[in-house]
Amino acid sequence: MCDEQRRIEERELEKIQLLREISNACKQMNEDRNLNRFEREKLISRRVRFTSNEKWLMGALIMSMIVSLLAIVITFAKS
């Protein structure tokens, strides 16, 4: 009777340990999912925002395009 009771208790302990491992794995998956969501949001916000250097370079590019278009228009207007 004692051996049978001990085996039952051991099986119950194994079940509890397996349930804990499953629970820990689920928690880890949720943490990973939340981290991935945070990383995705960070990347999306990075794509939308420009640094001051990027803004300055884009402004310089746009100004140079406007100046070149004006030069082309003036050249054709003179001829």
> Model confidence over 32-66: pLDDT tens digits?
887 777 777 777 776 666 677 778 888 899 999 99
The reported pLDDT for the residue numbered 50 is 67
Please state, in angstroms and as integers, the Cα–Cα distance from residue 79 to each residue in 35, 65, 67, 71, 76, following that order.
63, 22, 19, 13, 5
Determine contact, residues 49/41, Cβ cutoff 8 Å. no
The reported pLDDT for the residue numbered 63 is 95
Q: Where are the alpha helices (DSSP H) in 1-79?
A: 2-48, 52-78
Structure tokens at 1: 């009777």
Could you tell me the pTM of the whole model? 0.44
Cα(9)–Cα(15) distance, rounded to whole angstroms? 10
Domain spans, the chain: 1-48, 50-79
